[in-house]
Amino acid sequence: MSMDQTPSAAASGNRKRNMVRVALVFAIAALAVVLHWAFVGRFRETTDNAYVGGNLVQIAPQVAGSVSAVLVDDTDYVKAGQPLVKLDDADARVALLAAEAALADAVRGTRGLYLGESQSRAQVEQRRADVERLRHQAEQAAIALRQARDEFARREQLQRDHFISPEALQAARTTLQAAQAAQLAAQSAVSEAESGLEQARDQKATAVALVDNTSLEAHPRVAAAAAKVREAWLALARTTIVAPVSGHVAKRTVQVGARVAAGTPLMTLVPPDQLWVDANFKETELANVRIGQPVTLKSDLYGSATEYEGRVVGLSSGTGGVFSVLPAQNASGNWIKIVQRIPVRIALKADELAAHPLRVGLSMRASIDTHGRDGAVLANADRPATHQETDVFAMQAREADTRIARIIAANRASEARK
């Protein structure tokens, strides 16, 4: 072998080894890709067509009025029950004073009804006693009349036999006539007393009908007046517009001095702890997506270094195009098939939201792990965690009830203080 052929053979051997190494690297890479797809990739559905959603609580007055104060501005954080806007309350205060006065008058008048009912019962008992007394007197008069008749008959026989004088007979006749008159008077008194008893019973029935089976607080007159007070109090309380939930203020449009009607949007509250992600997957990607599957999410705001752990809580019942303002009309001659997208609702963890707050409308990248496929495709039960409620307005009603109870108690006890 010559000296010039030795380097050429060595170089050829090096190239072969390098080619083998490169081929081996590509083979390993291909195998890694296949293994990744087999064990991971085919169980992942990913999209960057995902956005943060949340509850947008619209703030609007429940009564009309002129704005006297605006207490918050955009980006402010407010707590549930915190005043946001105040309306002029002069008219509402006057209406409340009038309603409270009417309630006090109704309580006092109703007390008179209960007093009249008690008096009517006492009157009936008095009339009944009078009837019994007069009946006894009538019986005594009847006895006296029988005695007078017997005496007159006896003396009449004696005078006929000339044992007594005519004057003695006349005296017996006079006594008999007096006994007859007394008996008639007693019977008339009994009839009059019985008539008075019936009249007292009718009065008692009328008085009882006005208060029967009810208490002073539940009496219709008091209840109607209390309803007016409650209505006036709520109208006054609603002149101060409060936050129904805690959140950040957005889209404030109200200005001091503006005249607003009931239902006019004034601003929006965005609760930072009531956020989720709506990921719009292609219809061809959802065959293995189930409720309850874990989701990994990344936000464009924080970058790929920050990940959120979510969970699929629901799939929409229709594609995004179905619910658009102008849905597509596919029954046309120029129809072109377009792959539809279906929104998937993904819940976020509260602690992760607290550590890295999101805003409504931010872009997200969502990747669903579809290994577990035991969940439902569509929700078949209610999720109690999605219910929203506030007790701010109920607290206003309770304050009205407390005010009503105080007015009733003050006017019920006013006579006892005298």
Q: DSSP string covering 105-170, please? A: HHHHHHHHHHHHHHHHHHHHHHHHHHHHHHHHHHHHHHHHHHHHHHHHHHHHHHHHTTSS-HHHHH
The pLDDT assigned to 42 comes to 64
Q: Are 117 and 164 contained in the same domain?
A: yes
What is the distance between the alpha carbons of residues 59 and 249, in angstroms, rounded to a whole number? 10
For the chain, list residues with pLDDT below 70.
Answer: 1-7, 34-43, 116, 207, 209-210, 325-326, 328-333, 381-387, 413-418
Residue 286 lies in a domain: no
**Whole-angstrom distance, CA of residue 258 vs CA of residue 28:** 72
Alpha-carbon Rg for the chain in angstroms:
49
**pLDDT given at position 417:** 42
Kindly state whether residue 290 falls inside one of the protein's structural domains.
no
pTM, 2 dp: 0.69
Q: Is 75 in contact with 222 (CB distance < 8 Å)?
A: no
Contact 264, 66 (CB under 8 A): no
Cα–Cα distance measured from residue 387 to residue 18, given in angstroms and rounded to the nearest whole number: 65
Q: In the 8-state DSSP scheme, what is residue 338? A: -
**Whether residue 208 is found in the same domain as residue 127:** yes
What's the CA gap between 52 and 343, in Å, rounded? 12
For residue 6, is it within any domain?
A: no
Residues 6+ apart with CB under 8 A from 306: 298, 299, 356
Looking at the structure, tell me whether residues 125 and 239 fall in a common domain. no
Same structural domain, 198 and 236: no
- State the sign of the Cα–Cα–Cα–Cα dihedral 312, 314, 315, 316: negative
The domain total for the chain is 2
Q: What is the pLDDT of residue 386?
A: 56
404 belongs to a structural domain: yes
**Which element (helix H / strand E) includes 92?**
helix 90-160
Q: In terms of residue numbers, what domain contains 254?
A: 57-91+232-268+392-414
The pLDDT value given to residue 418: 38
Is residue 140 in a domain? yes
Question: The CATH number of the domain where 248 resides is what?
Answer: 2.40.50.100
DSSP designation for 74: T
Summarize pLDDT for 398-411 with one digit per residue, the tens.
888 888 889 888 88
Angle (CA) 253 256 261, round 5°? 65
Q: Are strands 275-282 and 83-87 parallel, antiparallel or unpaired?
A: unpaired
Regarding whether 98 and 203 lie in a shared domain, the answer is yes
Residues 97 and 244 in one domain: no
